[in-house]
Amino acid sequence: ETGVTQTPRHLVMGMTNKKSLKCEQHLGHNAMYWYKQSAKKPLELMFVYNFKEQTENNSVPSRFSPECPNSSHLFLHLHTLQPEDSALYLCASSPWTGIDGYTFGSGTRLTVV
């Protein structure tokens, strides 16, 4: 595997479900990010992790819970989501800062019903 891998590619969940999104990067990067992309809106930064430490929580509701066990893996735990949370969730990584840009994963298309 190379680059940034996200699973699952598609997820449909009910509002009372609990699910997790997984991201793994094989680039030796030390910073990882979660972004949300909704229709007709810019990419929204959710969380930033540098060297496994969370350095940014961009006012994200507590129904989204990130976890970064090591520099290569990032999870987003989801519970009691709302229909408006339906979106494309993108994981990205960078060497340690974003100064040279990000490498994005293929994303998880989430639908909350």
Q: Are strands 87-94 and 31-37 parallel, antiparallel or unpaired?
A: antiparallel
Nearest to 88 by CA among 22, 10, 31, 14: 10
The residue (of 13 and 43) whose beta carbon lies closer to another protein is 43
Euclidean distance between CA atoms 21 and 40, whole angstroms: 23
Query: Rule CB under 8 A: is residue 45 a binding residue for another protein?
Result: yes
90 in contact with another protein (CB under 8 A): yes
Cβ proximity to another protein: between 46 and 78 the closer is: 46
By beta-carbon proximity to another protein, the closer residue of 22 and 79 is 22
Q: Are 112 and 82 in contact (CB under 8 A)?
A: yes
Residue 103 sits in the site that holds another protein (CB under 8 A): yes
Determine if 99 is a binding residue for another protein (CB under 8 A): yes
